[in-house]
Amino acid sequence: MKRLLTATLLAAMLINLHAQDLKLTRENIPEIVSAMTPEEKVNLVVGCGAGWGNPDAKFLGTAGWTKAIPRLGIPSIYFADGPQGVNMTQTREYDVIDYSCTFFLSGSTFATSWDVDAAQAIGQAIGYELKERGLDVILGPGMNLHRNILCGRNQEYYSEDPLLSGKLAAAWIRGAQSNGIATSLKHFAVNNQETNRKENDSRVGMRALRELYLKGFEIAVKEGRPWTVMGAYNYVNGVHACENKWLLTDVLRGEWGWQGVVMSDWDGVVRQADAVSAGCELIEPGTDADREALLAALKEGSLSTEALDRNVRNILELVVKCPSFKGYEYSNDIDRKKHQKLLRRVAAESMVLLKNEGDVLPLKPGSVGLYGVSSYDLIPANMGVNGVNNGVYHVSLVQGLREAGFTVCPSVLRDYTNYIVSEKEKIASAYPAIYKQFFRYPRPEELIPGTGEAKAESVGALTVDLGLKQSSGTPRLSLKEQAETNEAAIITLARGTGEAFDRAASEFELTVSEKMLIDSLSNAYHSCEKPVIVLLNVPAPIETVSWREKVDAILLVGQPGERAGESIADALTGAVAPSGRLADTWPIHYGDAPSDKNFPSEVGQDLKSLITPRASREGRELVRNIDYTDYEEGIYVGYRYFTTSLTEAAYPFGYGLSYTFFNYEKASVEASADGFVARVSVRNTGSRPGREVVQLYVSAPKGGLDKPARELKGFAKTRELAPGESETVEIPVSLYDLASWNERKGRWETARGTYHFCFGTSAEEMLTDCSVKIKKTINYE
Ligand code: BGC
């Protein structure tokens, strides 16, 4: 008996000793989960709060981290925004290290590159910076569809087309994760409006949901395999995205076979137990109230231990892959020069030449008059939490032009510099701080230097001149003298957008003073036979038709990142040939696209919705476009609508000029193991080097489901081709890629009939047409 007691005691001691020794490894995750207390499990599935404004955060100014459980050898893993670079505070108290990271171009600017290799290279660079700064998860890429041109987050996202979005995101993810760090593909899903963003319900039919809003994610998930996905703030058809089991479990994991961790968007979870049960593993940034709610739900049975354990297991599977778990010794020494070089080239190549009358571009270095407030105050890229270094470091346009050998007219420069300083002071005192915090300070009205009296004076919306003295040595030139002295006028027009706000329809239009600036400069410069060039520093379409005839060239420079001035100068001089093509349709008017009537286009600048949280939805009538938004246009978004309804666009999807010309030769389509391969040979027939974006559109047979006139089914970008050189491009298209969602039958189907495979220079201009026949309809269960 005594012997038996001793043996039992010994065994109990051994188990206890073992529990004390038990530390997380790649192999023992189930054992660890069994050893965790309910409190520890809840601690793991709820984050530790945000790093912004938190002096105790290990990485200042980053987005958050998970809780460590030292007893079981579980370390914290650390997150930073994304997607335009690693967002963290650049300086720290008692520390001389420069923590700045490379501020890459905005998503919508990058998308116009149509360059999958560049996406991979940028992802690779950002992932490297993240790892060498000591973090584990980059919160990007962002890739919701551009449903409406006014959406406040369009600059973070790529395009109105899901294939272009999905392919770029997948490559970015592959590049970033090749460093052994995690990405977080966001915001899943149907996040297409910022007004009332945490309460708005995106009401969308199943076909549009499948073919447009989920399609990009499906491609990115299947081809990129992100380690994490971030749920969206909005509701999707009545259920909050972060609590939506259908989205997070049935589709993402069930249908797409994805394994990984879903994290909520920051403060995106309302019902904690529902989120955990739906398959949202991590509640971010996490509060004590979240932990208490989960423990209470466990106790009363509304949250099952199985669901919690599954989430804990998935988080641990992620933790063991991360650098923090592996004890990676990060260097804090990142090679920004190499990444800036990459950025400078990709940004210049992403620029879209919209007009180039009389081949005024490329421009030879000389003296230029630089006009428009934004020429001296560029918006380098997306600001806010998804920006980097608060956008403070960037190469100005003046510096970029000077480095390229230009003289920037000193008289004009001086007028603008003085004017901007005084206007910004006025704006700062007139608007509450929240406007600054959300980068919603209005831009100063435009000015026409060298007209009117030398005193501060406003005529309607237009400030005609300054009352400020020129610094000594700079003679003040009249507008006529400016046109006589300079070789060309360059005007920059800018628009900013940012998280939490949509643009108002009025921001699509040019202001009165912008129009007057264009009028005055084109009169003055054209009388001297000098060209007027407009740079569009915008992340999304603006109105162009009313003024484009008055200028000679228009270059969409987008939001090119921290080497902005140099990238723009490269594209203007042709040091790098701009080879971007539009990733969105540019309409003639706001109101031309069918989604325009179901979008809060008048709310725009109103910050009240942020300051005052909206009343609960319960027991009141819901407000259209605020509490819910009906996606009545179905699949007819962007070019799918414009090309099918023959609605004229200012510039179609896929459009962009070049400094050279390309011929398309020997187009063909052949059957392959799982579908088809389309081929074409592209020859540079002009006199300058350049890259061509090859776009493959497919028109489906008439008969079955209603189809858009054509859809993008593949694309590729050639290498830089010297004059006379050619490259053969191959684009695979699987039968599944041709499928549509049959709502009645609840499945994908590729209809039988004749398909036209066309290579085009935009969604409107087809150059070749090869047809193929599919004999039998294929259904996908
Ligand atoms: C944004 C996310 C971001 C998160 C953490 C949220 O407000 O919607 O995109 O990753 O904050 O900074």
Would you call 271 exposed, middle or buried from its count of C-beta atoms within 10 A (0-12, 13-18, 19+)? middle
Give the pLDDT band (50/70/90) at residue 459.
very low
Residue nearest atom 8 in ligand 1 by C-alpha distance: 265
- pLDDT, position 2: 52
Give the pLDDT band (50/70/90) at residue 369.
very high
**How far away, in angstroms, is 184 Cα from ligand 1 center?**
11
- pLDDT, position 341: 97
The CB of 81 under 6 Å from ligand 1? The reply is yes
568 membership: H or E segment, kind and range = helix 564-573
What's the mean per-residue pLDDT of the chain?
A: 92
For residue 212, the 8-state DSSP code is I
Torsion of CA 728, 729, 733, 738, to 10 degrees: -110
CA distance 273 to 293: 7
- pLDDT, position 606: 55
What region does 221 belong to: left with phi over 0, alpha with psi -120 to 50, or beta?
Answer: alpha
**Residues 6 or more apart whose Cβ sits within 8 Å of residue 512:** 460, 461, 462
313 membership: H or E segment, kind and range = helix 305-319
CA distance 396 to 352: 20
The CB of 266 under 6 Å from ligand 1? The reply is yes
- Using alpha carbons, list the distances in angstroms from residue 205 to 245, 291, 592, 743, 762: 18, 35, 21, 9, 28
Instruction: Give the chain's end-to-end CA distance (angstroms, integer).
Output: 65
Lowest pLDDT segment from 162-166, 323-327, 455-459, 573-577: 455-459
Question: Identity (one letter) of the amino acid at 340?
Answer: Q
What does the pLDDT look like over 11-46, one tens digit per residue? Answer: 445 445 556 689 999 999 999 999 999 999 999 999
**How far away, in angstroms, is 140 Cα from ligand 1 center?**
10
CA dihedral over 208, 209, 215, 217, signed as positive or negative: positive
Which atom of ligand 1 is found nearest the CA of 87? Answer: 12
The CB of 63 under 6 Å from ligand 1? The reply is yes
CA distance 82 to 365: 36
Question: Identity (one letter) of the amino acid at 258?
Answer: W
What does the pLDDT look like over 602-621, one tens digit per residue? Answer: 865 555 555 555 567 778 88
The CB of 528 under 6 Å from ligand 1? The reply is no
The CB of 731 under 6 Å from ligand 1? The reply is no
The CB of 493 under 6 Å from ligand 1? The reply is no
CA distance 379 to 558: 9
What mean pLDDT do residues 67-94 have? 95
**pLDDT reading at 760 higher than 70:** yes
What mean pLDDT do residues 435-449 have? 82
What mean pLDDT do residues 275-284 have? 98
Residue appearing with tokens 């569809």: 145
- pLDDT, position 647: 98
Lowest pLDDT segment from 139-153, 198-212, 414-428: 414-428
**pLDDT reading at 6 higher than 60:** no
Q: Which residues of 143-177 are buried (b: 16+ CB within 10 A; e: fewer)?
A: bbbbbbbbbbbbbbbbbbbbbbbbbbbbbbbbbbb
* Three-class SS of 321-388: CCHHHHCCCCCCCCCHHHHHHHHHHHHHHHCEEEEEHHHCCCCCCCEEEEECHHHCCCCCCCCHHHCC
The CB of 65 under 6 Å from ligand 1? The reply is no
- pLDDT, position 677: 98
Q: Which residue has the higher pLDDT, 457 or 293?
A: 293
Lowest pLDDT segment from 215-229, 282-296, 376-390, 714-728: 376-390
The CB of 505 under 6 Å from ligand 1? The reply is no
Q: Under DSSP, is residue 458 helix (H, G, I), strand (E, B) or coil?
A: strand
**How far away, in angstroms, is 401 Cα from ligand 1 center?**
35
The CB of 139 under 6 Å from ligand 1? The reply is yes
**Residues 6 or more apart whose Cβ sits within 8 Å of residue 689:** 577, 660, 720, 721, 722, 723
**How far away, in angstroms, is 386 Cα from ligand 1 center?**
7
Which atom of ligand 1 is found nearest the CA of 285? Answer: 5
Whether cis (ω within 30° of 0) applies to the bond prior to 539 is: no
**pLDDT reading at 203 higher than 60:** yes
Q: Which two tokens stand for residue 117?
A: 């290799």
Residues in the chain: 781
Give the pLDDT band (50/70/90) at residue 56.
confident
What mean pLDDT do residues 431-446 have? 79
Q: Which two tokens stand for residue 328?
A: 């990676």
**Residues 6 or more apart whose Cβ sits within 8 Å of residue 355:** 548, 551, 552, 553, 554, 657
What is the DSSP pairing of strand 462-465 with strand 586-587? unpaired
